[in-house]
Chain A
Amino acid sequence: MRLFKDASYPFIEARKKAYVLSAAVLLSGIAAMVINVATIGSWQDYGVDFTGGSLIQVEFNAPITAAGLRDALGGAQAPPITRFGDEDENEFVIRAPIAEDLSITDVADEIESDLAAALGAGTFQVVSTQAVGAKVAGELQVKALYAILFSFVLTLMYLAMRFELRFGLAAVIATLHDILITLGFLAVFRVEIALPTVAAILTILGYSLNDTIVVFDRIRENLHKKGARKRDQIELVNQSINETLPRTVLTSGTTLAVLLALYLLGGAVIRDFTVVLILGVIIGTYSSIFVAAPALIEIQNKWGLGKSADQKKRPQPATV
């Protein structure tokens, strides 16, 4: 079986349409962030990892609704309550902000004792609790930002070294595009940003780069062929994308299939995480073809091709 053998789709010619699509998606993400700032006071729905506070996850023995639980915990004054997982699991997550005069661990204890007082001590089990102090939460925000910035810089440096600077720039543009779209998606659906979500975003970064590098690797290789620099670059890039298309489709398809299995069967704990990854694979595949490669062309159109292949030594990876 072979898919997309000898394909020759005019990907680069369609780049303008891709730009419009990307811009539209990006803008709706930004719109969602603005709406979020106006309605929930923050551009993303940050979890306790980043805001500080307590989170307690409770499993009830008998079915109960979120509204009923809210009533039990003081009606209007009740902390935010959300259902966790499927309805038949009877699990809820209760969040409480940092209290001025209580330690973070006391807040969770207090919620537990309130629940016991309202519903009876034996009617539920505490599945998990999390309590994060304001200081830790602040540090985590800074660290997450640093992590993303550092990986950008190092990736750019690595790619500039292994390819040429414009490849590095194009790859970073594509990755930035992917991260912004993912953040927009998270803002639209108000997915809670927890530590694993940051891990997922960074994984997208890695995955998207992986895809982009495979395409760029082929462009690099075709550029090193005789007379390649005199060829129409759009044609050369198109050829490279088409040559790697079978691999792109097969790998992305397999990864998506595995992630889908993880999403459907992996349980509620990693569901949010998996959603972000699935999204990332789709965006990463799209961007390696429709953002990274066109960005390379645009950079070339603007600043030229750079040094020829003969002047620059071809990278020689170690043989294994």
Chain B
Amino acid sequence: MFKTLRGRMIAILIVTSISGWQLYDKGLKLGLDLQGGMHLVLEVDDPEGTMTAEAKSGMIDQVVRIIRTRIDEFGVNEPLIQKVGSERVIVELAGLQGDENRAKEIVQRNAFLEFKLVLPVTEVQGALPRIDRAIVATLGVDSIRAMGRDVVGSDNQQTLQEALFGGGAAATDSADAAADSADVEAEPEPDDDPDDLRPFSSLLNQGDILGTYLVLIEDVPTAEHFLALPAVERALPRGQELHWSEDLESRGARNYKYLYVLDEDPFLTGDRLENATAGRDPQFNQSQVQFELTRAGGREFSRFTAQHVNDYLAIVLDEQVMSAPVIRDRIGARGQIEMGSGTPLEEAADLALVLRAGALPVKIEIIEERTVGPSLGQDSIDQGTIAGVVGMILVILVMTVYYHMAGLLAIAALGVYSLLVLGGLAGMEATLTVPGIAGLILSIGMAVDANVLIFERIREELDHGRASRTAVDEGFAHALSAIVDANVTTLITALILFQFGSGPVRGFAVTLSIGIVASFFSALFVTRTFFLLYLSGKKTTDPISV
């Protein structure tokens, strides 16, 4: 089929119409740098490295599904949510306009909802001296002093050694603590007792709600730091845990956070949620999320609340207590999460959305973020287009001035080339990025180079006195090896870039690869065909314009 001129023309026609159709049908997808948007890379947050790769991979599959549901509800056109490797997810949201922070929150939020019973502080109160000692033992006296934590009787000089081995409770101001001292009887009891070091308990103030402490907002990071220590976790009463409130509480001029004592086991979690909607509490004009439990969940909820009338029920979202209302009566399948009066309704809507889509099975962390505003994107397109057009005009000028008729044939072939590349990009659903445009320009350069190689060769052959048609044939034949080798080596580089590159580099590699294949075809097949067409009306000895 490719032997005859007609066959060649038909082949070109088929290839170009497929490209044209792909381009028309699928359109060219612009990268985030060209149209604006957000690119996130998420990873399973596993600082201790306790999860197996397999477990992570399974969780990431779930994460991808849940994030997709969430984003679909959020309403972004053609989001790209893709698992990469075994523990990463790429989320690409094109055309976001000013909603970056909301989108980030929606993607990243765990939305793990739990209902837990608030417990009286009694037992924790009793464990406080033990907790203090655990902190002193872990961090050392010096570092606690350096933190400026309350050390009663600071004249009392203690060495680290003493602090580490001194742990006995002798005279404390709390009767509960004295009772507790039996628990630590294994530890030696030196005379110089660091008992007056109370790094943690000194931060706590009596809460005004059952089962709570109040902690000054300035002290919250320190307290969080202490609570994260494994020794402190062990020192807490069995089955109980401490959680911060989401809201701030003002007392006079100072701001506090509640620290709740909760039952460790939730009696219900968010997977029993049937529906969640955002609304406004008409009474206090607060944003709230109303939820509805599944039938089974509702039955459990109702049974539990019936047993705990007059107890407090904490609604815990991602480890933070959203609210802790008192159970006045049996509660059925409906409830609400209060979000505070200052919270915009939008935030409640987003929370309702993530609750509906379900909780992420694991904590995820954003390890890479790139956002591009739409204005930059438009500028890039405009400038890229102008530069591209000017570049094209330059190429056309050089080719026609230098090679006359042959140059025109080459430009026609370059036209086919452009269509092939754009159709190829559309067909492969590759996105066009700024580095991608650069890759295109480079491959145009290589397409031009191939033509130059051929034409120079034809000129040489004509110089050697060959007839026009023979010169053309010889020119193509001799230029072939250089073109093949040059294109293959560049293709090797492009493929390696694709393999190792990420984001923008990948875009560059894809356009370069498609460009090289297209330039190869256009220079060797299309230009040749146009040449044959040009020669077809001539005798073999007629002069040609090259």
Are A and B part of the same complex?
A: yes
Instruction: Please give the residue numbers on chain A whose beta carbons come within 8 Å of chain B beta carbons, in ascending order.
Output: 1-2, 57, 59, 103-105, 108-109, 125-133, 135-136, 140, 143-144, 146-147, 150-151, 154-155, 158-159, 162, 195-196, 198-200, 202-203, 205-207, 209-210, 213-214, 217-218, 220-221, 243-244, 246-247, 250-251, 253-255, 257-259, 261-262, 264-267, 269-270, 273-274, 277, 315, 317, 319-320
Residues of B within 8 A of A267 (CB): 379-380, 383-384, 387
A255 touches B445 (CB 8 A): yes
Q: Judging by beta carbons under 8 Å apart, are B481 and A104 in contact?
A: no
**Chain B: minimal CB distance from A252 (Å):** 9
Of A127, A136, A155, most B-chain CB atoms within 10 Å: A127
Q: Can you name 23 A-B residue pairings with CB atoms under 8 Å?
A: A104-B367, A105-B366, A128-B371, A132-B368, A136-B367, A143-B500, A144-B500, A158-B492, A195-B503, A196-B438, A199-B438, A199-B505, A206-B489, A217-B485, A257-B391, A258-B445, A259-B441, A261-B387, A261-B390, A261-B394, A262-B438, A269-B376, A317-B484
In the bound complex, CA of A203 to CA of B375 (Å):
29
Closest to B485 in A: A213
In the assembled complex, the CB of A142 is this many whole angstroms from the nearest CB of chain B, namely: 9
* Chain B minimum-CB-distance residue to A315: B481
Contact in complex: A151, B492 (CB < 8 Å): yes
CB distance from B56 to the nearest CB of A (A): 14
A132 to B41 Cα, complex, angstroms: 9
Which of A151, A207, A217, A266 is the one whose CB lies under 8 Å from B383?
A: A266
Q: Are A155 and B500 in contact (CB under 8 A)?
A: no
| Minimum CB–CB distance for B9 against chain A, Å | 15
B387 with A130: CB separation less than 8 A? no
For the complex formed, measure the closest distance between the CB of A52 and the CB atoms of chain B, giving whole angstroms: 9
CB A246 to nearest CB in B, in angstroms, measures: 5
Chain B stretch 457-497: residues in CB contact (< 8 A) with chain A: 459-460, 478, 480-482, 484-486, 488-490, 492-494, 496-497
Minimum C-beta distance from B445 to chain A (A): 4
Please state if B482 and A214 are interface contacts (CB–CB under 8 Å). yes
A265 to B383, CA, bound (A): 6
Tell me what chain A mostly uses at the interface: helix, strand, loop, or mixed: helix
Q: SS class of chain B's interface: helix, strand, loop or mixed? A: helix
| Chain B residue with Cβ nearest A274 | B438
Q: Which A residues are CB-close (under 8 A) to B500?
A: 143-144, 146-147, 150
**Which residues of chain A have C-beta atoms less than 8 A from B446's C-beta?**
210
Which chain A residues lie closer than 8 Å to B453 at the CB level?
A: 214, 247
Q: Which of A130, A131, A266 has the most CB of B within 10 A?
A: A266
B368 x A131 contact (CB < 8 A): yes
Decide if B525 is an interface residue (CB 8 Å cutoff): yes
- Docked complex Cα distance between A143 and B506 (Å): 12
Q: How far is the CA of A125 from the CA of B399 in the complex (A)?
A: 44
In Å, the complex CA distance between A1 and B397 comes to: 13
> With A144-B500, A150-B496, A243-B460 in contact, do A273 and B438 touch (Cβ < 8 Å)?
yes
**Measured CA separation A265–B385 after assembly (Å):** 9
Interface residues on chain B, size class: 35 or more
Docked CA distance A34–B462 (Å):
54
Q: Chain B residues near A207: list those with CB within 8 A.
A: 442, 445, 490
Contact between chains at B367 and A154 (CB < 8 Å): no
A255 to B449, CA, bound (A): 9
Asked if B435 and A154 make an inter-chain contact with CB atoms under 8 angstroms apart, the answer reads no
Given known contacts A105-B366, A129-B370, A195-B502, is B383 in contact with A251 (CB within 8 Å)?
no
B509 contact set on A, CB distance < 8 A: 199
B486 near A213: Cβ-Cβ < 8 Å? yes
At the interface, yes or no: B318 with Cβ under 8 Å from chain A?
A: no
Q: Check: B33 CB closer than 8 A to any chain A CB.
A: yes
Chain B residues with CB under 8 A of A206: 442, 489-490, 493-494, 512
Q: Specify which of A103, A144, A151, A254 is in contact with B493 (CB 8 Å cutoff).
A: A151
Chain B residues contacting A255 (CB-CB under 8 Å) are: 445, 448-449
By a CB distance below 8 angstroms, the chain A residues around B101 are: 109
Q: A196-B505, A269-B380 are in contact. Are A317 and B481 (CB under 8 A)?
A: yes
Taking CB atoms, residues of chain A closer than 8 Å to B528 are: 320
Does B372 interact with chain A (Cβ within 8 Å)? Answer: yes
A196 in contact with B504 (CB, 8 Å): yes
Question: A158 and B489 in contact (CB under 8 A), knowing A254-B448, A266-B387?
Answer: yes
The reply to whether A195 and B394 form a contact with Cβ atoms under 8 Å apart is no
A147 interface neighbour in B365, B376, B442, B497, Cβ under 8 Å: B497
Which B residues are CB-close (under 8 A) to A151? Answer: 492-493, 496
Which residues from A are CB-within-8-Å of B452? 247, 250-251, 254
Chain A residue numbers with a CB within 8 Å of B459 are 2
B386: Cβ under 8 A from any A Cβ: yes
Residue B369 at the chain A interface, CB threshold 8 Å: yes
- Give the distance to chain B from A225, nearest Cβ to Cβ, in Å: 12
B387 interface neighbour in A132, A244, A262, A317, Cβ under 8 Å: A262
B217 at the A/B interface (Cβ < 8 Å)?
no
Q: A128-B372, A221-B478 are in contact. List 12 more A-B contacts (CB 8 A).
A: A103-B366, A130-B369, A147-B501, A159-B489, A195-B503, A196-B434, A196-B438, A207-B442, A217-B482, A251-B449, A257-B398, A273-B438
CB distance A209 to B486 under 8 Å? Answer: yes
Asked whether B367 lies within 8 Å of A196 as measured between CB atoms, the reply is: no
Q: Is B395 an interface residue (CB 8 A)?
A: yes
Q: CA–CA, A244 to B449, complex, Å?
A: 12
Which of chain B's residues 426-452 have a Cβ closer than 8 Å to chain A? Answer: 434-435, 437-439, 441-442, 444-446, 448-449, 452
